Amino acid sequence: GENVEQHPSTLSVQEGDSAVIKCTYSDSASNYFPWYKQELGKRPQLIIDIRSNVGEKKDQRIAVTLNKTAKHFSLHITETQPEDSAVYFCAARGGFKTIFGAGTRLFVKA
Amino acid sequence: NAGVTQTPKFRVLKTGQSMTLLCAQDMNHEYMYWYRQDPGMGLRLIHYSVGEGTTAKGEVPDGYNVSRLKKQNFLLGLESAAPSQTSVYFCASKAQLDTEAFFGQGTRLTVV
């Protein structure tokens, strides 16, 4: 079955710096890769997603890159702000299942 | 616009008791999922459904059962609760496989 590994588990950056979170997946048939943000005590919410026919997608300060050959995908947040502090989850869809990574807790220090 | 609603929000069970968690969505979504969230382990898929009357096992199905008798509802049952099932449970639904999953607000379950 699909397995998704996410690194790092914790990331601390200074406000204004960039943050990068990396994920790898095991199922080469996976073709949809969403990223979710979960603030403390809240439900996860989609922030960006990418499909396998695209190598990169950007939405304002966030971008996602996908390398299907290496089975890697990454989330990039530029010009980080304190409100970016949250837990971020990557995920991969193989078949009917969407499997999540273990999450990255991002701290943005003002 | 309610989206995905979970009932109850909090529950404390004694070991061996049973309970049912209800997930209701008003978006006419075909796909529904139950996840559990534990510290450091992310969201792990328990069971899922690809349409009314269908259910399938996810990554961690043992100790849980589900039913999808109506399209809008997905029930998660614990027949004999164990302390290892202490967790936050999230339900999610999506319209199509490669679209956003909408999550409920979560149910915090403690088994003592």
Q: Are A48 and A42 in contact (CB under 8 A)?
A: no
Look at residue B31 in the predicted model and tell me its pLDDT.
97
- pLDDT band at residue A94 under the 50/70/90 scheme: confident
B42-69 pLDDT, tens digit per residue, is 999 999 999 999 999 999 999 999 999 9
- A76, with CB counted inside 10 A (0-12, 13-18, 19+), is middle
B27-42 pLDDT, tens digit per residue, is 999 999 999 999 888 9
Look at residue A52 in the predicted model and tell me its pLDDT.
87
A-interface mutation test, from B9, B103, B105, B108, most A Cβ less than 10 A away: B103
Nearest chain B CA: its distance from A73 CA (Å)? 16
Task: Report, as an integer, the average pLDDT of A4-12.
Answer: 97
Q: Are B97 and B45 in contact (CB under 8 A)?
A: no
Window 37-96 of B, Cβ < 8 Å to A: 40-45, 48, 50, 56, 58-59, 90
| A2 has a pLDDT exceeding 70 | yes
B-interface mutation test, from A10, A32, A90, A100, most B Cβ less than 10 A away: A100
Give the distance, in angstroms, between the CA of residue A85 and the centroid of all CA atoms in the same chain.
Answer: 14
Q: Is A27 on the interface with B (CB under 8 A)?
A: no
Q: How far apart are CA A34 and CA A25, in angstroms?
A: 12
B83: helix, strand or coil: helix
A84: helix, strand or coil: helix
- pLDDT band at residue A72 under the 50/70/90 scheme: very high
The per-residue pLDDT of chain A, averaged, comes to: 95
CB atoms within 10 A of CB B50: 15
Q: Is B27 on the interface with A (CB under 8 A)?
A: no
Q: Both tokens of residue B108?
A: 């915090």
| B1 has a pLDDT exceeding 70 | no
Look at residue B39 in the predicted model and tell me its pLDDT.
85
Task: Report, as an integer, the average pLDDT of A12-22.
Answer: 98
A94: helix, strand or coil: strand
Please name the helix (run of DSSP H) or strand (run of DSSP E) that holds residue A46, with its range, or none: strand A45-51
Q: Is B34 on the interface with A (CB under 8 A)?
A: no
Q: How far apart are CA A82 and CA A79, in angstroms?
A: 10
